[in-house]
Amino acid sequence: MPQEIEPKWQQIWAERGVMKASDSSPKPKFYDLVMYPYPSGDLTVGHARNYVMGDVLARMKRMQGFEVLHPFGWDAFGLPAENAAMKRGNIHPETWTLGNIAKGKAELKMMGILYDWDREVTSCLPDYYRWTEWLFLLMYERGLAYRAMAPVNWCPVDKTVLANEQVINGRCWRHPDVEVEKRDLEQWFFKITDYADRLLADLALLDKWPNKVRVMQTNWIGRSEGAEVEFPVVGLEGEVVRIYTTRPDTLFGATFMVLAPEHPLVERITTEEHRARVREYVEKARKETEIERQSTERAKEGVATGGFAINPVNGEKIPIWVADYVLITYGTGAIMAVPAHDERDFEFARTYSLPIREVIAPDDGPSDTLREAYVGPGRLVNSGEFSGLDSATAIDRICEWLQAQGKGKRAVKYRLRDWLISRQRYWGCPIPIVYCSVDGIVPVPLDQLPVVLPKEYKPLADNPSFWKTTCPKCGEEARRETDTMDTFVDSSWYFLRYTDPHDATRPFDPELANHWMAVDQYTGGVEHAILHLLYSRFFTKVLHDAGLIEVSEPFMRLFNQGMVKRFGQVMSKSLGNGVSFDELVAAQGADAGRIYEMFIGPPEEDVEWTDAGLNGVSRFLQRVWRLVLEPEKIVVEGSGADASALSRKVAQTVGKVTEHFDELRFNTAVAALMELANTMQDYLQRGGERDERWVGAVRTLVKLLNPLAPHVAEEMWERLGEKGMLADASWPVYDAAVAAEPRLTLVVQVGGRVRDRLTVEPGLSEADALAAAMGSDKVRGALNGRGPSKVVYVKDRLINLVP
């Protein structure tokens, strides 16, 4: 197999513009998207797995007659560029980034991965980020971008704030060893919480997403239903503590209240006598890290404020405490404590000898609420007029009562918080806002976009030539916003830019976006199960509401590929276990590498890269080459070649491979092709004729191999044409007619009950089908010792079967 065929075909594909997507093609569209990468410059064959999958799918869909949009781009803003710049002295982040992009692009081409490079998107270039700024202003205009002072997560290493989604177990997502700090800062937020209900509800539409991802998003959004209730504070006229509870049926069991240490009422409620201790406690809580505070292991501690509140349902006077097991960030930052029916409250009550009153009796026997909290539903006791009701009814009734009395109302809460998008970094998309002492916050007018990132690499706040400006409204001196945006803002809409990448007047043409959207297949790592996918869904919904796009969900089908490991660790250049594209192509060629990436294991699983495995795939390709172009070299070693078995195998393989490709089960698709090659080899070894049937098998093998090993397949196809073995030597088209040939199913009934189904060869006569059915173990087993039975064609044609 000659080596030089790879550059040859890569050049031909480029010249022919094979992967250029036409906006006006009459063919059905297929939008095949891979998550655009951060150009870190350490691309290995591990990363390539994702791109090979996308390419195989794109090539297959093209062969099947789709107009395929298969674009690529770069998530080019972000911290690693700044870190590299710092480490290497005077390299500008842009130089570093664009250099890596050029390198990465060449490597992808080397693997025969085809994109419509005319649509390439690079998020750090002004012709892209201009529209990121534009979209920020759209958010602002729609009331979805706001500036607020809030306790935010601060990464002390990256020296910037982080979104909630970027904090994992209280640590920075980029530095698993570094705990984030809480700081009170005024920052920009996107109001993603306005979309919480829709982001949750529409998950139901995404039935082609991995269940795992949908569950993760559901949990992240964290909807809960309950009630907000107001407890008047004793001695403070008109002042109430508002609490949120999911169990209004336990209201009569509230024996105390707890405020989060940060709760604004703490100071006012605390009595003189308790002030010193409360202040000390609040101070201590503030100093603790999130990790310490959020540990469920640790004992619950708190202090009494000396203040009291009135339980609105029974007028009871109950003490108000402060404890850090109540979070200021969830609900109202205050709770009613029902120790008999909440484990946390129970633990707290036991620690401080607070009263425990049972108000829910379990349906199945007595509970012992002095030993442990009963958290399940049951029948209300000790609950005044509501006693005797079951939990569900009581929740309804009590909510109605609260509402009627003006003391509370039903409420829905989410765990999801607004998306903090400010970053105190240079290498990001500028936030197009100006602060004027007269006009306040002033958005940069659309015709003044983009706010260009200055060439000089230093903090924007230290660069007066950047931030010194004039107010767009009044013309007085003003100051620009010097924070940049989270790079996840850039990536929340790039899939839309691909549909209209050169538009100089808007982010995208709605008509083009509507033509290509939604993405039919989206492939990328599961690490974005929440972050990127949630943000992109949010953006899409906002754009939908703004009338810019018809779809309200961006990605119809999602696939998360597993990682490639070597020596037990994820492949990476810095760990020294990476295999580069050059090494791979030099060792066994791009096609062997591509097939190996697909064959190495189930696409969603993590896999271990071995050179021996790659070698095996290489042998397979060599064998195919011999079978297709040099069959005379195969030594005849036996007899009894079965031509009809060969034909059957060919038909079977077409069906299998098509199915497996469609389901992205590339490993079994490759296995099916290997089986076909083995059968073909066996056929020749047994002295099979190289007749029309043989040529048919050869053609099928080459066609099916094309998406996986395009260089070799194209070369073989061309040479077959030269040998006169093809009626038409043009670009191979997937034989949809063969692929779609329906299989005939017999339904086996025994005693009127469907016992089994049996797939038989298509094209059989009724008698032959019957004979086939009777001859199968499946049917014989089903009929074993049974009475009169019958076999039924799926389309209501009955055949009597005599056992």
Partner RNA sequence: GCCGAGGUGGCGGAACAGGCAGACGCGUCGGUCUCAAAAACCGAUGUCCGCAAGGACGUGCGGGUUCGACUCCCGCUCUCGGCACCA
Cβ nearer to RNA, comparing 644 with 784: 784
- Name which of residues 377 to 416 contact RNA (CB under 7 A): 413, 415
Q: How many Cβ atoms sit within 10 Å of the Cβ of residue 456?
A: 12
Site string for RNA, 30-59 (x = CB under 7 A): ------------------------------
Q: Which two tokens stand for residue 631?
A: 């069959």
> Is the separation of the CB atoms in 51 and 564 below 8 Å?
no
Return the closest-CA partner of residue 326 out of 356, 348, 351: 348
Tell me, what amino acid is at 629? Answer: L
Q: How far is the CB of 665 from RNA (least distance, A)?
A: 6
> Is the separation of the CB atoms in 300 and 220 below 8 Å?
no
What is the residue-wise DSSP string for 667-725? HHHHHHHHHHHHHHHHHHHTT---SHHHHHHHHHHHHHHTTTSHHHHHHHHHHHHHTT-
Region label for 90, one of left (φ > 0), alpha (ψ between -120 and 50) or beta (otherwise): alpha
Site string for RNA, 685-714 (x = CB under 7 A): x-----------------------------
Close Cβ partners of 710 (under 8 Å, ≥ 6 residues apart)? 9, 59, 112, 591, 594
- Name which of residues 63 to 102 contact RNA (CB under 7 A): none
- Name which of residues 586 to 625 contact RNA (CB under 7 A): 599-602, 605, 607-608, 610, 612-613, 615-617, 619-620, 622-623
Residue 757 as a binder of RNA (CB under 7 A): the answer is yes
Site string for RNA, 13-32 (x = CB under 7 A): --------------------
How far from 668 is each of 45, 645, 700, CA to CA, in Å? 20, 21, 17
Q: How far is the CB of 684 from RNA (least distance, A)?
A: 10
Site string for RNA, 218-237 (x = CB under 7 A): -xx-x-x-x-----------
Cβ nearer to RNA, comparing 41 with 613: 613
Q: Which stretch binds RNA (CB under 7 A): 176-184, 698-706, 767-775, 779-787?
A: 779-787
- From candidates 40, 153, 160, 245, binder to RNA by CB under 7 A: 245
Residue 195 as a binder of RNA (CB under 7 A): the answer is no
- Name which of residues 458 to 487 contact RNA (CB under 7 A): none
Close Cβ partners of 18 (under 8 Å, ≥ 6 residues apart)? 62, 114
> Is the separation of the CB atoms in 107 and 43 below 8 Å?
yes
Cβ nearer to RNA, comparing 11 with 295: 295
Return the closest-CA partner of residue 235 out of 307, 179, 283: 307
Cβ nearer to RNA, comparing 60 with 617: 617
Return the closest-CA partner of residue 399 out of 227, 251, 215, 256: 227
How far from 187 is each of 167, 461, 490, 492, 518, CA to CA, in Å? 17, 15, 18, 20, 33
Cβ nearer to RNA, comparing 18 with 587: 587
Give the full edge-to-edge strand order of the sheet including 429-430: 422-423, 484-485, 429-430
- Name which of residues 714 to 753 contact RNA (CB under 7 A): 745
Cβ nearer to RNA, comparing 131 with 256: 256
Say how far apart CA 98 and CA 104 lie, in whole Å: 10
Residue 203 as a binder of RNA (CB under 7 A): the answer is no
Question: Which own/partner contact pairs does 163-171 have at CB distance under 8 Å and 24+ positions apart?
Answer: 163/419, 163/420, 163/421, 163/486, 163/488, 163/531, 164/417, 164/419, 164/420, 165/220, 165/419, 165/530, 165/531, 165/534, 166/531, 167/290, 169/291, 170/289, 170/290, 170/291, 170/294, 171/291
Q: How far is the CB of 367 from RNA (least distance, A)?
A: 18
- From candidates 8, 277, 344, 719, binder to RNA by CB under 7 A: 344
Q: How far is the CB of 477 from RNA (least distance, A)?
A: 43
Backbone angles phi, psi at 187, to 5 degrees: -140, 165
Q: How far is the CB of 459 from RNA (least distance, A)?
A: 31
Q: How many Cβ atoms sit within 10 Å of the Cβ of residue 173?
A: 17
Q: How far is the CB of 27 from RNA (least distance, A)?
A: 30
Cβ nearer to RNA, comparing 727 with 802: 802
Q: How far is the CB of 316 from RNA (least distance, A)?
A: 18
- Name which of residues 154 to 173 contact RNA (CB under 7 A): 168-169
- Name which of residues 523 to 562 contact RNA (CB under 7 A): 530
Q: How far is the CB of 338 from RNA (least distance, A)?
A: 7
Site string for RNA, 409-448 (x = CB under 7 A): ----x-x---------------------------------
Close Cβ partners of 317 (under 8 Å, ≥ 6 residues apart)? 234, 308, 309, 310, 311
- Name which of residues 621 to 680 contact RNA (CB under 7 A): 622-623, 635, 637, 665, 667-668, 670-671, 674-675, 678
Q: How far is the CB of 652 from RNA (least distance, A)?
A: 11
Q: How far is the CB of 169 from RNA (least distance, A)?
A: 6
Say how far apart CA 450 and CA 443 lie, in whole Å: 12
- Name which of residues 784 to 803 contact RNA (CB under 7 A): 784-785
- From candidates 129, 140, 189, 244, binder to RNA by CB under 7 A: 244
- Name which of residues 276 to 335 contact RNA (CB under 7 A): 293-296, 298, 300, 324-327, 329-331, 333, 335
Q: How far is the CB of 725 from RNA (least distance, A)?
A: 22
E strand or H helix at 761, and its extent?
Answer: none
Q: How far is the CB of 589 from RNA (least distance, A)?
A: 13
Cβ nearer to RNA, comparing 97 with 245: 245
Number of chain residues interacting with RNA (CB under 7 A)? 77
Q: How far is the CB of 378 from RNA (least distance, A)?
A: 16
Say how far apart CA 109 and CA 132 lie, in whole Å: 28
Q: Is 794 exposed, middle or buried (0-12, 13-18, 19+ CB in 10 A)?
A: exposed
